[in-house]
A = this chain, B = another copy of it.
Amino acid sequence: MSYTASVVGGSGFTGGELLRLLAGHPEFELEQATSRSKTRKTVGHVHPNLRGLDLRFSSPEDLADVDVLFSAAPHGVAMGEIDRYREAAETVVDLSADFRLSEETQYETWYDGHTRPELLAESVYALPELGRERLAGADLVAAGGCNATATILGLLPLFEADLLSGDERVVVDVKVGSSEGGAGGADAASHPERSGVVRPYAPTGHRHEAEIAEFLGLDVAFTAHAVDMTRGAAATCHVFPDGPVSTSALWGAYRDTYAEEPFVETVAGGGGVYRYPEPKAVAGTNRAEVGFELDPGSERVVALAAIDNMMKGSAGQAVHAANIALGIEETTGLDFAGLHPVGAP
Q: Which positions in A face B, CB cutoff 8 Å?
A: 13, 16-17, 20, 23-24, 41, 45-52, 169, 171, 173, 175, 177-179, 181, 183-185, 187-200, 203-205, 209, 219-223, 225, 227-232, 234, 236, 238, 240, 265, 267, 270-274, 276-285, 293-295, 297-298, 300, 302, 304, 306, 335-345
| A178-B343, A228-B229 given; 10 more Cβ-contact pairs under 8 Å | A179-B341, A189-B190, A190-B194, A192-B343, A200-B304, A204-B293, A227-B228, A336-B336, A342-B345, A345-B345
> Distance (Å) between the CB of A270 and the closest chain B CB?
8
Point out the residues of chain B lying under 8 angstroms from A231, CB to CB: 339, 341-343
Point out the residues of chain B lying under 8 angstroms from A178, CB to CB: 190-192, 195, 341, 343
Find A304's partner among B181, B184, B203 (CB 8 Å cutoff): B203
Do the beta carbons of A198 and B227 come within 8 Å of each other? yes
> Distance (Å) between the CB of A209 and the closest chain B CB?
7
A298–B192 CA distance with the chains assembled, in angstroms: 32
Point out the residues of chain B lying under 8 angstroms from A278, CB to CB: 48, 197-199
> Distance (Å) between the CB of A202 and the closest chain B CB?
9
Which among A234, A297, A339 has the highest number of chain B CB atoms within 10 Å? A339
> Distance (Å) between the CB of A277 and the closest chain B CB?
8
Do the beta carbons of A345 and B337 come within 8 Å of each other? no
Q: Which residue of B lies closest to A109 (CB)?
A: B297
Point out the residues of chain B lying under 8 angstroms from A340, CB to CB: 13, 16, 20, 47-50
Do the beta carbons of B280 and A221 come within 8 Å of each other? no
Do the beta carbons of A190 and B200 come within 8 Å of each other? no
Do the beta carbons of B293 and A192 come within 8 Å of each other? no
Find A273's partner among B188, B270, B281 (CB 8 Å cutoff): B188
Point out the residues of chain B lying under 8 angstroms from A297, CB to CB: 204-205, 209, 219
A341–B284 CA distance with the chains assembled, in angstroms: 10
Point out the residues of chain B lying under 8 angstroms from A199, CB to CB: 276, 278
Do the beta carbons of A197 and B280 come within 8 Å of each other? yes
Point out the residues of chain B lying under 8 angstroms from A236, CB to CB: 173, 200, 203, 223, 225
